[in-house]
Amino acid sequence: MEITVIGAGAIGGVLGAHLVRAGNKVTFCDKDLEHVHVMNSRGLRIEGPDETFTVECDAYTPEQLVKKKPVLDTVFLCVKAQHTKEALKPFIHLVGDETKVVSFQNGLCENEIASLVGRDKTIGCFVNFSADYLEPGRILYGGVAALYLGELDGKISQRVTDLQKVLECWGPAQVTDNIWGYLWGKMSYAGLLYATALVDETMAAVVRKMDLRETLMELCSEILEVADKEGVKPIGFDDWVPGLVYPRETRDQQLLDNQLEKLAERMAANKKTKSGIWRDLAVRKRKTEIDSQLVPILEMGANHQVPMPLTELLVSLIKEIETGSTQMDWDHLYKLKGLYESGEKICS
């Protein structure tokens, strides 16, 4: 299996480096010319909680790689959700009958990939380990977490099983017959993570704010209600359990509180204590993935006539931070709480 990693940042860099170290043939592709140069000249350095290692790389910019006219076997698409089309478009003419494109992204990007290369060439992936691009040739790795591979139609195929075996050099990659369940579970969790990025504080600290808990769980419930309308049963992972949050009427607050404390403990123990969303806003000063993650869910919610006032306000506040018209502040979370307590959303 020859693997082309498009997007050699946090996720792509970590997975690709482990694959290289295990002896797999990997080609890295990234639009950051300096990152490509450093990978080729000094290697790719992964700084993890248990070990730090460097691998030698073959890295190219998209323009450089297209000129080589490679035969694309297996593509690991590891770019931000909003860059899906931009990243794949230069390589469309190189996609062959046996090419497989795997979405190692946050969001429901599989739908967009399928529209570009075809559903038969698209493989879904849920990935939850944390990592950060620190500087050219250097990536911070938070540690092993959940990773699931699956066909979009739910079948267990040989090609997905083969991918799972290849990825065992990284960690406990698994195969699922419900990849959409994991992706929607991640989207409900994303609602919580975006909320934690409204303030310059750790994820665990926000999750442990008991006076905000009911509001944050209603935010997640809005997303889970849309999943329900879409006919998807979201699946939990890494101490996030959507079934304890939604349906609202079956929620056991004590069980939920206990589980959220486990989640907070996991967050606090991770080498990366703040989300990638926070890093986009506070460090890299760039747009988040919200337009490709939560905004499409708002559109689905509107189609299903599901009121989503908290999600709408969250999106608006994140966009204000993106543009610099406001700064991270606890007041944003209390605006969400005020809206929730105003009774605008009538819980069913």
* pLDDT tens sequence across 11-52: 999 999 999 999 999 999 999 999 999 999 999 999 998 999
Q: Cα–Cα distance between 254 and 7 in angstroms, integer?
A: 42
Whether the predicted pLDDT of 271 surpasses 80: no
Cβ atoms of 145 and 129 within 8 Å: the answer is yes
Which of 177, 206, 225 terminates a domain? The answer is 177
Residue 192 shares a structural domain with residue 163: no
User: Could you tell me if residue 348 is inside a domain?
Assistant: no
User: Could you tell me if residue 321 is inside a domain?
Assistant: yes
Residue 172 shares a structural domain with residue 133: yes
Band (pLDDT 50/70/90 cuts) for residue 348 is: very low
Arithmetic mean of pLDDT over the chain: 95
Cβ atoms of 126 and 146 within 8 Å: the answer is yes
Band (pLDDT 50/70/90 cuts) for residue 344 is: low
Give me the sign of the Cα torsion angle 237, 153, 99, 94. Answer: negative
CA distances from 14 to 48, 139, 283 (A): 9, 7, 20
Cβ atoms of 57 and 20 within 8 Å: the answer is yes
**Strand order of the sheet with strand 59-60?**
59-60, 25-29, 2-6, 72-77, 95-103, 122-127, 147-151, 174-175
Q: Cα–Cα distance between 38 and 346 in angstroms, integer?
A: 54
Residue 115 shares a structural domain with residue 257: no
Residue 210 shares a structural domain with residue 222: yes
pLDDT computed for residue 114 by the predictor: 97
Residue 20 shares a structural domain with residue 119: yes
Residue 243 shares a structural domain with residue 329: yes
Residue 209 shares a structural domain with residue 303: yes
- State mean pLDDT over 305-313: 98
- State mean pLDDT over 290-300: 96
- State mean pLDDT over 267-292: 91
**Number of structural domains, the chain?**
2
pLDDT computed for residue 343 by the predictor: 79
Cβ atoms of 281 and 197 within 8 Å: the answer is yes
- State mean pLDDT over 281-308: 95
Give me the sign of the Cα torsion angle 206, 207, 209, 212. Answer: positive
Write the CB contacts of 30 (distance below 8 Å, at least 6 apart in sequence): 6, 7, 8, 9, 12, 36, 39, 59, 61
User: Could you tell me if residue 94 is inside a domain?
Assistant: yes
Residue 258 shares a structural domain with residue 272: yes
- Which one is predicted more confidently, 270 or 62? 62
H or E, element range at 66 = helix 62-68
Residue 37 shares a structural domain with residue 150: yes
Domain that holds residue 146: 2-177
User: Could you tell me if residue 247 is inside a domain?
Assistant: yes
User: Could you tell me if residue 44 is inside a domain?
Assistant: yes
Whether the predicted pLDDT of 347 surpasses 60: no
CATH of the domain at 19: 3.40.50.720
Whether the predicted pLDDT of 346 surpasses 70: no
- Which one is predicted more confidently, 272 or 212? 212
Cβ atoms of 228 and 235 within 8 Å: the answer is no
Write the CB contacts of 259 (distance below 8 Å, at least 6 apart in sequence): 239, 241, 244
Which of 143, 177, 211 terminates a domain? The answer is 177
pLDDT computed for residue 215 by the predictor: 98
Q: Cα–Cα distance between 280 and 282 in angstroms, integer?
A: 6
Residue 170 shares a structural domain with residue 193: no
- State mean pLDDT over 255-274: 93
Give me the sign of the Cα torsion angle 124, 160, 98, 75. Answer: positive
Band (pLDDT 50/70/90 cuts) for residue 124 is: very high
Could you give the maximum distance between any two Cα atoms of the chain, in Å?
Answer: 59
- 3-state SS class at 50: coil
Q: Cα–Cα distance between 32 and 38 in angstroms, integer?
A: 10
CATH of the domain at 218: 1.10.1040.10
pLDDT computed for residue 57 by the predictor: 94
User: Could you tell me if residue 346 is inside a domain?
Assistant: no
Band (pLDDT 50/70/90 cuts) for residue 345 is: very low
Residue 117 shares a structural domain with residue 187: no
Per DSSP, what are the bridge partners of residue 29?
A: 6, 60
User: Could you tell me if residue 347 is inside a domain?
Assistant: no
Which of 139, 155, 177 terminates a domain? The answer is 177
Residue 186 shares a structural domain with residue 330: yes
pTM for the full predicted model: 0.89
